Amino acid sequence: MSNSFNGDNWTLDTAQTSSIFDDGIFIRYAKWYPNASDNDILIENADGDDLVKSRAKVPCGANNDEIGAIAFDELIGFHRGFKLTTIDGGTLYIKLQ
């Protein structure tokens, strides 16, 4: 699979070498469903500052079980740019406003 940008709903599973979005962005929901323990994720803003840096402790199953899902409440709000620098596995779901 590759990243999908469907209007305000993004489904991301592939790291980017450049920013996905460089301008102002308002995120209202962000949840990661890692597919293995010890998967890493790193999200940065347009300036290269870390917005989220996390490591999965429990994998989600093939059906995206909620037990291992990680909600990133710290991402809710306005950010200057968005870059998915690292995603070792799983899928990140973003909803924009």
Let me know: does 29 contact 76? Beta carbons within 8 Å. Answer: yes
pLDDT at 91: 94
Q: Which tops the pLDDT comparison, 61 or 12? A: 12
Say how far apart CA 26 and CA 13 lie, in whole Å.
Answer: 20
Say how far apart CA 38 and CA 27 lie, in whole Å.
Answer: 25
pLDDT at 63: 67
What is the band of 1 on the pLDDT scale with cuts at 50, 70, 90?
A: low
pLDDT at 66: 77
Give tens-digit pLDDT for 56-96: 988 887 666 777 899 999 999 999 999 999 999 999 999 99
Say how far apart CA 2 and CA 91 lie, in whole Å.
Answer: 10
51: amino acid identity, one letter: L
Q: How many domains does one find in the chain?
A: 1
54: amino acid identity, one letter: S
Provide the domain limits for residue 30.
Answer: 4-96
